[in-house]
Structure 1
Amino acid sequence: MAAQEFEELAETFEFLDDWEDRYRHVIDMGKSLPPLDPAFQVDATRVDGCASQVWLRPMIQGTGPDAAFEFEGDSDAMIVKGLIAVLHTLYAGRTVADVGKVDALSELGRLGLNDHLSAQRSNGVRAMVERIRLVSAEAAAG
């Protein structure tokens, strides 16, 4: 149930021969994300459970289960900012109802991320996914 943009990312990862190339690609993805306005780098948008500083700012367009989900994010660690970009390809533009149907850990596993992230980074990714799912579920419920 991956979005087209994520399918293209998965194909890119298949092309990349080793983890170092994939790691660099994730970092490059993070570099392409615009920085989050410092006004939104506050406790309300900070994701707990991450070793690095991570902020996710959800932007829901519309109401109810068909509302569109979008978010901005930032981190003080380049690899984490890249992981935010990966999550963006997985979730952005979906309806809030569809966000909850995405098996994020399975999809990220297709990229080999589960095998190559430290335990702390893996916990951070799970915390980001949980925040995205929670915000979407709240928006879907109205």
Structure 2
Amino acid sequence: MTIKEIQEEIIDEFSMFEDWMERYEYIIELGKSLPLIADIEKKDENLIVGCQSKVWLHSEIDVDKINFTADSDAILTKGIIALLLRVFNNQAPEDILNADLYFIDEIGLKEHLSPNRANGLVSMIKQIKLYALAFQSKLS
């Protein structure tokens, strides 16, 4: 699936919920299905700077697609990174770099997060795109 198709799928899923409590619960459930990072990758260089909670993000390139694994010590944050990885996992670096993440505004995620969590969301996206940039330069 393309990044755009995945975003449309997420928007459809979130439209089924009546209120933000149900959406928060869904995000937390998504976190439980997150492909977990190996314990050996839970090191300082994989911590995302700018997140209130600890969030580890690891990436590997498989031919020309990036695979991510992650974990967090906070359940909501774990759900947020799971949502982002659903969009970005197994995508080409160029597609990640050019992605317009409109689903975040469409589902109202940023406006329903505390300022610290919203900053963390931005930091997660920035780190994912930095990995994509690094892999793209290796592939060129």
Q: Flag whether TM exceeds 0.5 (same fold).
A: yes
Q: What is the aligned-residue identity percentage? A: 32
Secondary structure of the structure 1 residue equivalent to 2:59? strand
State the distance in 1 between where 2:7 and 2:125 align. 15
2:39 partner letter: P
- Which aligned pairs between 1:44-55 and structure 2 lie closer than 5 A? 44-55=45-56
Normalising by structure 1, we get a TM-score of: 0.90
- Which aligned pairs between 1:73-112 and structure 2 lie closer than 5 A? 73-104=70-101, 106-112=102-108
Aligned pairs, how many?
A: 137
Query: What is the CA distance between 1:3 and its match in structure 2?
Result: 3.9
Query: What is the CA distance between 1:61 and its match in structure 2?
Result: 1.3
Query: What is the CA distance between 1:107 and its match in structure 2?
Result: 2.5
Q: CA RMSD in A?
A: 1.3
State the distance in 1 between where 2:68 and 2:122 align. 16
* Among candidates 118, 123, 140, match of residue 122 of structure 1: 118
1:57 partner letter: H
Query: What is the CA distance between 1:59 and its match in structure 2?
Result: 1.4
Instruction: Quote the residue 1:27 is aligned against.
Output: 28
Say if 1:2 and 1:107, in contact at 8 Å, map to a contact too: no
Say if 1:6 and 1:89, in contact at 8 Å, map to a contact too: no
1:8 partner letter: E
Query: What is the CA distance between 1:36 and its match in structure 2?
Result: 2.2
Unmatched segments (≥5 aa) in structure 2: none
Instruction: Quote the residue 2:132 is aligned against.
Output: 136
Deviation string 1:5-47 (CA, Å, 9 cap, x unpaired) is 3322210101111111000000000011243222111011110
Say if 1:50 and 1:124, in contact at 8 Å, map to a contact too: yes
Secondary structure of the structure 2 residue equivalent to 1:57? strand
Query: What is the CA distance between 1:98 and its match in structure 2?
Result: 0.6
